[in-house]
Every structure is written in structure tokens, then in C-alpha cells.
Amino acid sequence: MGTGRRALITTAITVVCAVTVLAAPGTAFASPTPTSTPSATATASPTPVTNKDLEAVREKLDALYHDAAVATDAYNAAEEKSQKQSAEIVELAKKIVKGQEKLDELKDRAGAAARSQYRTGGLPDEAQLLLSDNPQAFLDGTGRVLQGQRATKGLIAELTRTQQDLKQYTADASAQWQQLEKNRQAKATAKKKVTTQIAAAEKLESQLEKQEKERLAKLEQQAALKAQTAWLDSGALKDTGGKASAAGKAAVAYATAQLGKAYEWGAEGPLTYDCSGLTSQAWASAGDPIPRTSQEQWKQLPHVAEKDMRPGDLIIYFDDASHVAMYIGDGAIIHAPRPGRTVTVAGAGSMPILGVVRPDA
């Protein structure tokens, strides 16, 4: 073990905490207090990194990756909205083009009607009757005159409606452009936070020696096992045993085929995934498209009790619904955990469960 390892780890945690605070907007800071330089005597003897130190590292890593997951959800939501708005803008543009073509046609028809009226001198029907050499022929054509008048009124009304539609389409397109720009800014902000949190976590992990990383991994496994055991002891699986639907089986099969693929925030496959990218693509492949983010999956999909869950259902984790996994039965899940990890099988109770949703309820 290298000299001063414990002090180095403690300093690394402090630095990472500072980096995290600096990333938050509107934070005020006091002038730093000078620190004394360790004496040669203090650094001469090796200071081992204890399990308590590593537990502090584990908790800080969990917090950093959790914040990264929240920011990833925000990024994915902004991306989904941007795609939807872009599609709506395209459709509005098509409507504007068609509306303009229709308006041009109506104006041509209105112009033709005006020219026709000019050729008749614009005289009222009574005057045309008095001046006609053949009053009976005029009377016979009165019906056609009335039809023409009604057609002219209809033409003017249609022209007015088309102009109003064009005005509304233009206003809608302008509003969508403004919202699209807001979502682009939201994506940029979320991306910055994701990369900041992940970089801080990676910096913290880089301070560990190989043996310390192995000990940290064991601590993570022990924490997950402890949580899973407590969940099982609670009787959560006592009454479960529901069979997967055909779509649920297809979703599980898709998720299973992705085992071992790397986590990448914002990814939806086929080579890499984030947590909700995996679940949304699994259910899309099963023929039941669902919302892109874990938070929207929690908001929009039907909720079911834990005791009633079946393979294919999605388990939402943490109070802010920042993580999602697919239940595959026997108390296990498949999920894309976090950066640096791969799609894997884990215990369903290894993280704090918010609730369960069923895409094909």
C-alpha cells in the first residue's frame, strides 16, 4: 500500500464534492483557508485505506452516478421533445405550403368572378331585366344568377378561412420553433451536468489502487446483497408468480439478448444503452412502444403492485424515478446500471423500489 493512501482518498472525495458544488449554479464561496504542508514524519509511515474510507467512496460514487442518471433522464426527455417538435414543424410547413397553394387558387377564382361581373357592367338584376330584349330569357336565367351569387359568397368565406388557417399555422410553427430552442438549451444543460458528474466519479475511482477497487467492488456487492435479502425477507415475492404475456416474453427476450453490452448515457442501442433506452427498445421490439425516459414510464404506464408483477414488467427505482429495470422473474432484473458497467442481471430488490409498471396492461 502506498504512503498516505488514506489521506489521498479523503482528499479526492473532498475535491469531487467541491467539483460537484461548483457545477451547481448560483453557489457562493468563501476565501479558502491555507492548509499546512504535511511534515516528512507524518508522511513517512503508510496509512492504509480502511473499509470505512471505501464505504465513503462507494456512497459518493452512488450519489454522483445517481445525479448523472437524473441528468440523463432530463437529456433524454429534451431529446424526445425536440424530435417531436421537429416533426410537428415539418407537418406545419407542409400545411403552410398547401394552404398557400389553395389561397392562390381561390384568389384566381375570385379574380375570374370579378372579371365576369365587370363584363355584365355590374348592373343589379332589376336593371338588367328592364334593359333586356328578352325578359323571359332573363327570368329563366335568374336561378343561375342566384346560384352564382351563393357561389361567390362561398368563395369569399373559403378564402377568409384559408387566410385564417395560414395565419394560425404560421403562429403554431413560430411557437414550436421557440420551444424547440428551449429544449435544445435544456439538452445542453443536462449534457453538461451528466458529463461533469461522470467525470467526477471517474476521477474519484482513478485515485484507487487495483486492490482498493476490488475491495470497493466487494462492498458494492455486499450492499446490493443486503438490500436484496431484506427485500426478499419482507415477503415481496411471496405471492408473485404471474406468467408473462406474449409481449412480455418478447421484451424479456430482447433485453436478455443485450446482456454484456456497455452502458452509455442517452443511448438506445443497438450497441450501447442507458437504463430507459434498454427498456423502451425492448418493449418497442415487442410491439408496444412506451415513453423514452424512466420518469415518463412511471408517470404514463399503468401501475401494478409488487406482489402482482410478472416478467416483462418494469421496476422503477428511487424516489425521483431516475432508474428503471425489467423484471425477468424469480426476484431478478435485467438493467443497464451506470457508466463503466454493462447490461447485467441483478436482484430486483438491490436498489430502493419506487413501484412497478406494466406496458401491456
Cis peptide upstream of residue 270 (ω within 30 degrees of 0):
yes
Asked if 303 is an active-site residue, the reply is no
Asked if 323 is an active-site residue, the reply is yes
At residue 288, the 3 state secondary structure works out as: coil
Q: Which cell numbers hold the place of 344?
A: 447485467
Closest listed residue to residue 280, CA positions, set 336, 361, 349 = 336
Number of Cβ atoms within 10 Å of the Cβ of 46: 11
Asked if 17 is an active-site residue, the reply is no
CA distance 262 to 315: 20
Q: Which cell numbers hold the place of 34?
A: 491555507
CA distance 183 to 60: 30
**CA of 318: how far to CAs of 87, 128, 266, 295, 323, in Å?**
33, 84, 19, 10, 7
**Amino acid type, 72:** T
Residue tagged active-site, from 17, 66, 303, 323: 323
The catalytic residues are: 275, 323, 335
